[in-house]
Amino acid sequence: MGLIETRCSQAPLAADPLALSEIVENGLCIGCGLCRSIASAGDVEMVMTPEGRERPVALRALDKPILARINAVCPGTRIAGPPPAQITEAALADTVWGPVERLLLGSAGDPTVRFIGSGGGTLTALGQFLLSSGCVKFVLHVAASRSMPMRSERKLSFDAASVFDGAGSRYGPAATLVDFNDILDRGEPFALIAKPCDITAVRNLARLDPRVDEHMRYALAFVCGGASDLTKSEQVLQRFGLSEDELTLFRYRGHGNPGLNRIETRDGRAFEISYRQLWEDEDKWMIQPRCKICPDAIGQVADIAVSDAWLNGGPAVEDEPLNSIIVRTKRGLELFDAAVEAGVLQIKRESDIAEIGELQSHQVRKRRAVWARLTGMAIAGKPVPSVTDLALRDCALQNSPADNLAEGRGARDRARRGRLGEPPAVPR
Protein backbone atom coordinates (compact mmCIF):
# COMPACT_ATOMS: atom_id res chain seq x y z
CA MET A 1 0.00 0.00 0.00
CA GLY A 2 2.96 2.34 0.46
CA LEU A 3 3.55 2.60 -3.27
CA ILE A 4 -0.13 3.21 -3.87
CA GLU A 5 -0.24 5.94 -1.25
CA THR A 6 2.80 7.69 -2.71
CA ARG A 7 1.45 7.63 -6.23
CA CYS A 8 -1.97 8.86 -5.20
CA SER A 9 -0.71 11.57 -2.87
CA GLN A 10 1.47 12.96 -5.65
CA ALA A 11 -1.70 13.41 -7.76
CA PRO A 12 0.10 12.80 -11.06
CA LEU A 13 -0.90 15.32 -13.66
CA ALA A 14 1.06 15.75 -16.88
CA ALA A 15 4.13 17.99 -16.66
CA ASP A 16 2.49 20.22 -19.26
CA PRO A 17 -1.09 21.35 -18.71
CA LEU A 18 -3.72 18.97 -20.00
CA ALA A 19 -5.53 20.00 -23.15
CA LEU A 20 -9.31 20.31 -22.94
CA SER A 21 -9.62 17.14 -24.98
CA GLU A 22 -7.40 15.27 -22.49
CA ILE A 23 -9.46 16.47 -19.55
CA VAL A 24 -12.64 15.32 -21.27
CA GLU A 25 -11.39 12.02 -22.66
CA ASN A 26 -9.87 10.97 -19.33
CA GLY A 27 -13.27 11.35 -17.66
CA LEU A 28 -12.30 14.37 -15.55
CA CYS A 29 -14.71 16.95 -16.99
CA ILE A 30 -18.01 17.72 -15.27
CA GLY A 31 -19.14 20.33 -17.82
CA CYS A 32 -19.24 23.34 -15.48
CA GLY A 33 -18.25 25.67 -18.34
CA LEU A 34 -15.63 27.69 -16.45
CA CYS A 35 -12.99 26.91 -19.09
CA ARG A 36 -15.13 28.61 -21.72
CA SER A 37 -15.36 31.68 -19.52
CA ILE A 38 -11.59 31.78 -19.01
CA ALA A 39 -10.62 31.31 -22.65
CA SER A 40 -10.72 34.20 -25.11
CA ALA A 41 -14.02 34.86 -26.82
CA GLY A 42 -14.69 32.33 -29.56
CA ASP A 43 -11.92 29.93 -28.53
CA VAL A 44 -14.06 27.39 -26.66
CA GLU A 45 -17.65 26.32 -27.11
CA MET A 46 -19.81 24.02 -25.03
CA VAL A 47 -21.55 21.23 -26.93
CA MET A 48 -24.11 18.60 -26.01
CA THR A 49 -22.46 15.28 -26.83
CA PRO A 50 -24.17 12.11 -28.09
CA GLU A 51 -23.75 10.73 -24.56
CA GLY A 52 -25.86 13.59 -23.21
CA ARG A 53 -23.09 15.62 -21.56
CA GLU A 54 -22.17 19.28 -21.86
CA ARG A 55 -18.50 19.37 -22.83
CA PRO A 56 -16.00 22.03 -23.94
CA VAL A 57 -14.45 21.92 -27.39
CA ALA A 58 -11.45 24.09 -28.28
CA LEU A 59 -12.03 25.80 -31.62
CA ARG A 60 -8.31 26.45 -31.98
CA ALA A 61 -5.13 25.38 -30.22
CA LEU A 62 -5.18 27.18 -26.87
CA ASP A 63 -2.08 29.02 -25.67
CA LYS A 64 -0.16 27.29 -22.90
CA PRO A 65 -0.80 30.11 -20.34
CA ILE A 66 -4.55 29.79 -20.93
CA LEU A 67 -4.38 26.01 -20.59
CA ALA A 68 -2.35 26.39 -17.40
CA ARG A 69 -5.01 28.73 -15.99
CA ILE A 70 -7.78 26.32 -16.98
CA ASN A 71 -5.91 23.43 -15.34
CA ALA A 72 -5.50 25.50 -12.18
CA VAL A 73 -9.23 26.11 -11.80
CA CYS A 74 -10.85 23.07 -13.42
CA PRO A 75 -12.64 20.89 -10.82
CA GLY A 76 -11.52 17.88 -12.82
CA THR A 77 -7.81 18.65 -12.41
CA ARG A 78 -7.70 20.42 -9.03
CA ILE A 79 -9.96 19.74 -6.06
CA ALA A 80 -9.11 21.48 -2.80
CA GLY A 81 -10.96 21.19 0.46
CA PRO A 82 -11.67 23.99 2.90
CA PRO A 83 -8.64 25.91 4.14
CA PRO A 84 -7.06 24.18 7.15
CA ALA A 85 -7.76 27.26 9.27
CA GLN A 86 -11.48 26.84 8.63
CA ILE A 87 -11.37 23.25 9.87
CA THR A 88 -9.32 24.23 12.94
CA GLU A 89 -11.80 26.94 13.87
CA ALA A 90 -14.94 24.92 13.15
CA ALA A 91 -17.22 23.86 15.97
CA LEU A 92 -16.85 20.28 14.71
CA ALA A 93 -14.51 18.67 12.19
CA ASP A 94 -15.32 15.14 11.05
CA THR A 95 -13.08 12.99 8.87
CA VAL A 96 -15.85 12.17 6.40
CA TRP A 97 -18.12 15.22 6.69
CA GLY A 98 -15.50 17.94 7.13
CA PRO A 99 -16.00 21.22 9.01
CA VAL A 100 -19.39 21.83 10.64
CA GLU A 101 -20.57 24.89 12.52
CA ARG A 102 -24.05 23.50 12.95
CA LEU A 103 -25.94 20.44 11.75
CA LEU A 104 -29.72 20.23 11.90
CA LEU A 105 -32.95 19.27 10.19
CA GLY A 106 -35.09 22.10 8.90
CA SER A 107 -36.95 23.59 5.97
CA ALA A 108 -38.28 26.77 4.42
CA GLY A 109 -40.63 28.74 6.64
CA ASP A 110 -43.03 29.47 3.78
CA PRO A 111 -45.26 26.42 3.15
CA THR A 112 -45.47 27.18 -0.58
CA VAL A 113 -41.67 27.21 -0.90
CA ARG A 114 -41.53 23.96 1.06
CA PHE A 115 -44.01 22.36 -1.32
CA ILE A 116 -42.59 23.62 -4.60
CA GLY A 117 -38.90 23.26 -3.71
CA SER A 118 -36.98 20.02 -3.42
CA GLY A 119 -36.81 18.36 -0.01
CA GLY A 120 -37.70 21.23 2.26
CA GLY A 121 -37.05 24.22 0.00
CA THR A 122 -34.11 25.43 2.10
CA LEU A 123 -31.88 26.62 -0.77
CA THR A 124 -34.75 28.41 -2.48
CA ALA A 125 -35.63 30.16 0.77
CA LEU A 126 -32.03 31.23 1.37
CA GLY A 127 -31.70 32.59 -2.16
CA GLN A 128 -34.89 34.58 -1.74
CA PHE A 129 -33.77 35.91 1.64
CA LEU A 130 -30.40 37.07 0.32
CA LEU A 131 -32.15 39.14 -2.34
CA SER A 132 -35.03 40.50 -0.28
CA SER A 133 -32.66 41.51 2.54
CA GLY A 134 -30.33 43.30 0.14
CA CYS A 135 -27.33 41.13 1.02
CA VAL A 136 -26.69 40.46 -2.67
CA LYS A 137 -27.76 41.98 -5.98
CA PHE A 138 -28.40 38.66 -7.70
CA VAL A 139 -28.20 34.90 -7.31
CA LEU A 140 -26.46 32.65 -9.84
CA HIS A 141 -28.17 29.28 -10.00
CA VAL A 142 -29.62 26.75 -12.43
CA ALA A 143 -33.19 26.52 -13.72
CA ALA A 144 -35.12 24.75 -16.45
CA SER A 145 -34.52 26.04 -19.94
CA ARG A 146 -37.51 28.00 -21.21
CA SER A 147 -37.16 26.64 -24.73
CA MET A 148 -36.08 23.07 -23.87
CA PRO A 149 -37.56 22.33 -20.42
CA MET A 150 -35.89 18.94 -19.99
CA ARG A 151 -32.53 20.75 -20.02
CA SER A 152 -31.02 23.09 -17.45
CA GLU A 153 -29.26 26.40 -17.91
CA ARG A 154 -27.58 28.96 -15.75
CA LYS A 155 -29.84 31.70 -14.47
CA LEU A 156 -29.34 35.07 -12.79
CA SER A 157 -32.16 35.95 -10.41
CA PHE A 158 -32.53 39.54 -9.24
CA ASP A 159 -35.61 39.10 -7.06
CA ALA A 160 -37.23 36.48 -4.84
CA ALA A 161 -39.89 35.64 -7.43
CA SER A 162 -37.25 34.69 -9.97
CA VAL A 163 -35.52 32.39 -7.48
CA PHE A 164 -38.86 30.76 -6.73
CA ASP A 165 -39.47 30.28 -10.45
CA GLY A 166 -36.30 28.21 -10.62
CA ALA A 167 -37.07 26.08 -7.56
CA GLY A 168 -36.77 22.30 -7.65
CA SER A 169 -33.96 19.86 -8.35
CA ARG A 170 -32.51 19.74 -11.84
CA TYR A 171 -30.83 16.53 -12.92
CA GLY A 172 -28.59 16.17 -15.94
CA PRO A 173 -25.88 18.45 -17.34
CA ALA A 174 -25.70 22.17 -16.59
CA ALA A 175 -22.87 24.57 -17.48
CA THR A 176 -23.43 26.85 -14.50
CA LEU A 177 -20.18 28.81 -14.92
CA VAL A 178 -20.19 29.24 -18.68
CA ASP A 179 -20.00 33.07 -18.46
CA PHE A 180 -18.62 33.46 -14.95
CA ASN A 181 -15.99 36.00 -15.98
CA ASP A 182 -18.75 38.24 -17.34
CA ILE A 183 -20.59 37.84 -14.05
CA LEU A 184 -17.51 39.01 -12.15
CA ASP A 185 -17.22 41.94 -14.55
CA ARG A 186 -20.57 43.20 -13.24
CA GLY A 187 -18.78 44.16 -10.03
CA GLU A 188 -21.86 43.43 -7.90
CA PRO A 189 -22.30 41.26 -4.80
CA PHE A 190 -23.90 37.93 -5.56
CA ALA A 191 -24.53 34.44 -4.22
CA LEU A 192 -23.95 31.12 -5.95
CA ILE A 193 -26.25 28.10 -5.52
CA ALA A 194 -24.71 25.14 -7.29
CA LYS A 195 -23.21 21.66 -7.24
CA PRO A 196 -20.19 21.17 -4.97
CA CYS A 197 -17.90 20.77 -8.01
CA ASP A 198 -19.06 24.12 -9.39
CA ILE A 199 -18.20 25.75 -6.08
CA THR A 200 -14.83 23.97 -6.10
CA ALA A 201 -14.13 25.53 -9.51
CA VAL A 202 -15.01 29.01 -8.25
CA ARG A 203 -12.92 28.57 -5.10
CA ASN A 204 -10.03 27.52 -7.34
CA LEU A 205 -10.50 30.65 -9.43
CA ALA A 206 -10.48 32.79 -6.27
CA ARG A 207 -6.79 31.93 -5.83
CA LEU A 208 -6.09 33.62 -9.16
CA ASP A 209 -8.77 36.30 -9.36
CA PRO A 210 -9.46 38.44 -6.25
CA ARG A 211 -12.81 39.52 -7.68
CA VAL A 212 -14.30 36.17 -6.65
CA ASP A 213 -13.88 36.78 -2.93
CA GLU A 214 -14.75 40.45 -3.37
CA HIS A 215 -18.08 39.87 -5.09
CA MET A 216 -19.26 36.32 -4.28
CA ARG A 217 -20.66 36.77 -0.79
CA TYR A 218 -22.12 33.28 -0.31
CA ALA A 219 -21.71 29.86 -1.88
CA LEU A 220 -24.55 27.43 -1.16
CA ALA A 221 -24.44 23.80 -2.26
CA PHE A 222 -26.74 20.84 -2.47
CA VAL A 223 -25.21 17.54 -1.44
CA CYS A 224 -24.88 15.82 -4.81
CA GLY A 225 -25.63 12.24 -5.78
CA GLY A 226 -24.01 12.76 -9.17
CA ALA A 227 -24.85 14.56 -12.40
CA SER A 228 -26.72 12.28 -14.76
CA ASP A 229 -26.45 12.32 -18.55
CA LEU A 230 -29.26 13.89 -20.52
CA THR A 231 -29.80 10.44 -22.04
CA LYS A 232 -31.14 9.33 -18.63
CA SER A 233 -33.92 11.90 -18.99
CA GLU A 234 -34.47 10.93 -22.61
CA GLN A 235 -35.19 7.39 -21.44
CA VAL A 236 -38.18 8.75 -19.52
CA LEU A 237 -39.54 10.25 -22.73
CA GLN A 238 -39.10 6.89 -24.46
CA ARG A 239 -41.43 5.31 -21.90
CA PHE A 240 -44.23 7.47 -23.21
CA GLY A 241 -43.25 7.66 -26.87
CA LEU A 242 -42.44 11.37 -26.63
CA SER A 243 -39.80 13.56 -28.24
CA GLU A 244 -38.09 16.49 -26.58
CA ASP A 245 -39.57 19.07 -28.94
CA GLU A 246 -43.09 18.18 -27.74
CA LEU A 247 -42.43 19.31 -24.15
CA THR A 248 -43.63 22.39 -22.30
CA LEU A 249 -42.66 21.04 -18.84
CA PHE A 250 -40.21 18.48 -17.52
CA ARG A 251 -40.18 18.65 -13.72
CA TYR A 252 -37.78 16.17 -12.18
CA ARG A 253 -39.24 16.47 -8.68
CA GLY A 254 -40.73 18.98 -6.24
CA HIS A 255 -44.39 19.79 -5.55
CA GLY A 256 -43.95 17.44 -2.59
CA ASN A 257 -41.05 15.55 -1.08
CA PRO A 258 -39.81 14.16 -3.36
CA GLY A 259 -42.81 14.77 -5.59
CA LEU A 260 -43.45 13.24 -8.99
CA ASN A 261 -41.45 13.48 -12.17
CA ARG A 262 -44.03 15.29 -14.35
CA ILE A 263 -44.05 15.87 -18.10
CA GLU A 264 -46.46 18.14 -19.99
CA THR A 265 -46.73 18.47 -23.77
CA ARG A 266 -47.73 21.21 -26.17
CA ASP A 267 -50.96 19.41 -27.02
CA GLY A 268 -52.10 19.29 -23.38
CA ARG A 269 -51.10 15.76 -22.34
CA ALA A 270 -49.47 15.04 -18.97
CA PHE A 271 -47.43 12.08 -17.72
CA GLU A 272 -46.06 11.26 -14.27
CA ILE A 273 -43.76 8.69 -12.70
CA SER A 274 -42.54 8.49 -9.11
CA TYR A 275 -39.08 9.43 -7.92
CA ARG A 276 -38.39 5.76 -7.23
CA GLN A 277 -39.45 4.82 -10.76
CA LEU A 278 -37.10 7.46 -12.14
CA TRP A 279 -34.11 6.12 -10.21
CA GLU A 280 -35.13 2.52 -9.51
CA ASP A 281 -32.35 0.88 -11.54
CA GLU A 282 -29.03 2.04 -10.11
CA ASP A 283 -27.13 0.41 -12.97
CA LYS A 284 -28.89 2.79 -15.36
CA TRP A 285 -28.42 6.04 -13.47
CA MET A 286 -25.99 7.18 -16.20
CA ILE A 287 -23.88 9.22 -13.81
CA GLN A 288 -21.04 11.12 -15.46
CA PRO A 289 -17.53 9.60 -15.05
CA ARG A 290 -16.18 12.53 -12.99
CA CYS A 291 -18.90 11.92 -10.39
CA LYS A 292 -17.61 8.42 -9.68
CA ILE A 293 -14.32 9.81 -8.36
CA CYS A 294 -15.76 12.93 -6.70
CA PRO A 295 -13.97 13.54 -3.38
CA ASP A 296 -16.35 16.31 -2.29
CA ALA A 297 -19.96 15.67 -3.25
CA ILE A 298 -20.92 16.93 0.23
CA GLY A 299 -19.98 20.57 -0.32
CA GLN A 300 -17.12 21.06 2.12
CA VAL A 301 -16.12 24.32 0.40
CA ALA A 302 -19.62 25.80 0.57
CA ASP A 303 -20.84 28.13 3.30
CA ILE A 304 -23.95 25.98 3.72
CA ALA A 305 -24.63 22.55 2.22
CA VAL A 306 -28.15 21.11 2.06
CA SER A 307 -29.25 17.53 1.48
CA ASP A 308 -32.35 15.39 1.41
CA ALA A 309 -33.24 13.80 4.73
CA TRP A 310 -34.20 10.30 3.64
CA LEU A 311 -32.85 7.21 5.36
CA ASN A 312 -30.13 5.68 3.14
CA GLY A 313 -30.58 8.47 0.61
CA GLY A 314 -33.92 7.41 -0.84
CA PRO A 315 -37.59 8.03 -0.01
CA ALA A 316 -39.91 5.14 0.82
CA VAL A 317 -43.01 7.31 0.37
CA GLU A 318 -43.87 10.98 0.11
CA ASP A 319 -42.15 12.44 3.17
CA GLU A 320 -42.45 15.48 5.36
CA PRO A 321 -40.74 18.42 3.60
CA LEU A 322 -37.35 18.42 5.30
CA ASN A 323 -33.66 19.02 4.62
CA SER A 324 -30.48 18.18 6.41
CA ILE A 325 -28.63 21.49 6.72
CA ILE A 326 -24.85 21.57 7.21
CA VAL A 327 -23.64 25.04 8.15
CA ARG A 328 -19.93 25.01 7.36
CA THR A 329 -18.52 28.51 7.83
CA LYS A 330 -18.87 31.45 10.19
CA ARG A 331 -20.33 33.44 7.28
CA GLY A 332 -22.80 30.64 6.63
CA LEU A 333 -23.77 30.58 10.31
CA GLU A 334 -24.51 34.31 10.29
CA LEU A 335 -26.72 33.84 7.23
CA PHE A 336 -28.50 30.83 8.71
CA ASP A 337 -29.19 32.57 12.04
CA ALA A 338 -30.54 35.66 10.27
CA ALA A 339 -32.81 33.52 8.06
CA VAL A 340 -34.20 31.69 11.09
CA GLU A 341 -34.77 34.93 12.97
CA ALA A 342 -36.65 36.32 9.96
CA GLY A 343 -38.83 33.22 9.75
CA VAL A 344 -37.41 32.32 6.33
CA LEU A 345 -36.14 29.00 7.69
CA GLN A 346 -37.60 26.84 10.42
CA ILE A 347 -35.73 24.32 12.53
CA LYS A 348 -37.20 20.94 13.32
CA ARG A 349 -34.34 19.79 15.57
CA GLU A 350 -30.60 19.53 15.88
CA SER A 351 -28.87 16.62 14.17
CA ASP A 352 -25.41 15.02 14.36
CA ILE A 353 -22.79 13.22 12.30
CA ALA A 354 -24.19 9.78 13.07
CA GLU A 355 -27.63 10.73 11.76
CA ILE A 356 -26.46 12.40 8.59
CA GLY A 357 -24.24 9.38 7.97
CA GLU A 358 -27.38 7.24 8.01
CA LEU A 359 -29.42 9.66 5.92
CA GLN A 360 -26.63 9.95 3.36
CA SER A 361 -24.93 6.57 3.73
CA HIS A 362 -24.02 6.47 0.03
CA GLN A 363 -21.98 9.66 0.51
CA VAL A 364 -20.07 8.01 3.34
CA ARG A 365 -19.30 5.01 1.14
CA LYS A 366 -18.10 7.22 -1.68
CA ARG A 367 -15.85 9.35 0.54
CA ARG A 368 -14.25 6.20 1.88
CA ALA A 369 -13.77 4.76 -1.61
CA VAL A 370 -12.35 7.71 -3.55
CA TRP A 371 -8.73 7.44 -2.36
CA ALA A 372 -8.48 3.86 -3.59
CA ARG A 373 -10.25 4.67 -6.85
CA LEU A 374 -7.88 7.53 -7.62
CA THR A 375 -4.94 5.32 -6.70
CA GLY A 376 -6.13 2.64 -9.10
CA MET A 377 -6.48 5.18 -11.90
CA ALA A 378 -2.97 6.50 -11.24
CA ILE A 379 -1.53 2.97 -11.34
CA ALA A 380 -3.24 2.50 -14.70
CA GLY A 381 -1.28 5.51 -15.93
CA LYS A 382 -4.24 7.86 -16.13
CA PRO A 383 -4.18 11.48 -14.97
CA VAL A 384 -6.03 12.08 -11.73
CA PRO A 385 -6.94 15.36 -10.08
CA SER A 386 -4.70 17.03 -7.56
CA VAL A 387 -6.66 16.64 -4.31
CA THR A 388 -5.70 18.53 -1.17
CA ASP A 389 -7.19 19.07 2.29
CA LEU A 390 -10.00 16.55 1.91
CA ALA A 391 -8.66 13.77 4.18
CA LEU A 392 -9.11 11.10 1.50
CA ARG A 393 -6.59 8.70 2.95
CA ASP A 394 -8.03 9.12 6.44
CA CYS A 395 -11.44 8.30 5.01
CA ALA A 396 -10.00 5.22 3.31
CA LEU A 397 -8.52 4.04 6.62
CA GLN A 398 -12.10 3.57 7.83
CA ASN A 399 -12.35 0.70 5.30
CA SER A 400 -10.74 -2.68 5.61
CA PRO A 401 -7.53 -3.21 3.59
CA ALA A 402 -9.43 -5.76 1.50
CA ASP A 403 -12.11 -3.21 0.62
CA ASN A 404 -9.54 -0.61 -0.39
CA LEU A 405 -7.68 -3.15 -2.47
CA ALA A 406 -10.88 -4.16 -4.24
CA GLU A 407 -11.80 -0.54 -4.97
CA GLY A 408 -8.29 0.23 -6.23
CA ARG A 409 -8.05 -2.84 -8.44
CA GLY A 410 -11.52 -2.23 -9.82
CA ALA A 411 -10.70 1.35 -10.77
CA ARG A 412 -7.35 0.30 -12.24
CA ASP A 413 -8.96 -2.35 -14.42
CA ARG A 414 -11.80 -0.08 -15.54
CA ALA A 415 -9.31 2.66 -16.38
CA ARG A 416 -7.19 0.27 -18.44
CA ARG A 417 -10.27 -0.82 -20.36
CA GLY A 418 -11.23 2.80 -21.00
CA ARG A 419 -14.41 2.59 -18.95
CA LEU A 420 -13.52 5.62 -16.81
CA GLY A 421 -12.93 7.85 -19.83
CA GLU A 422 -15.15 9.38 -22.49
CA PRO A 423 -15.21 9.61 -26.27
CA PRO A 424 -13.93 12.85 -27.82
CA ALA A 425 -16.43 15.66 -27.35
CA VAL A 426 -18.46 16.23 -30.49
CA PRO A 427 -21.91 17.79 -30.84
CA ARG A 428 -24.82 15.41 -31.26
More confident residue, 59 or 12: 59
Find the range with the poorest average confidence among 89-98, 316-325, 387-396: 316-325
In the structure, what pLDDT confidence band is assigned to residue 162 with cuts at 50, 70 and 90? very high
Check: CB of residue 258 under 8 Å from CB of residue 168: no
pLDDT at 3 over 90: no
Structure confidence at residue 14 (pLDDT): 45
Structure confidence at residue 221 (pLDDT): 98
pLDDT at 182 over 70: yes
Extended strands (E) in 351-406 = 386-388
pLDDT at 188 over 60: yes
The candidate with the shortest Cα–Cα distance to 269, out of 296, 246, 245, is 246
Find the range with the poorest average confidence among 2-11, 303-312, 347-356, 365-374: 2-11
Share of the chain above pLDDT 70, in %: 95
Structure confidence at residue 379 (pLDDT): 98
pLDDT at 2 over 80: no
In the structure, what pLDDT confidence band is assigned to residue 179 with cuts at 50, 70 and 90? very high
Structure confidence at residue 16 (pLDDT): 84
What digits encode the pLDDT tens for the residues 248-302?
999 999 999 999 999 999 999 999 999 988 887 655 678 999 999 999 999 999 9
What digits encode the pLDDT tens for the residues 53-71?
999 999 999 999 999 999 9
The region, left, alpha or beta by phi > 0 then psi within -120 to 50, assigned to residue 299 is left
Distance from C-alpha of 317 to C-alpha of 258, rounded to nearest angstrom: 8
Distance from C-alpha of 317 to C-alpha of 320, rounded to nearest angstrom: 10
Structure confidence at residue 309 (pLDDT): 94
Q: Dihedral sign, CA of 121, 122, 124, 128? A: positive
Structure confidence at residue 9 (pLDDT): 39
Structure confidence at residue 82 (pLDDT): 96
Distance from C-alpha of 98 to C-alpha of 347, rounded to nearest angstrom: 22
**What is the overall mean pLDDT for the chain?**
93
What digits encode the pLDDT tens for the residues 360-414?
999 999 999 999 999 999 999 999 999 999 999 999 999 999 999 999 999 999 9
Q: Dihedral sign, CA of 301, 15, 410, 392? A: negative
The region, left, alpha or beta by phi > 0 then psi within -120 to 50, assigned to residue 187 is left
The candidate with the shortest Cα–Cα distance to 335, out of 188, 123, 151, 183, is 123
Delimit the domains of the chain by residue range.
Answer: 1-420
Structure confidence at residue 15 (pLDDT): 57
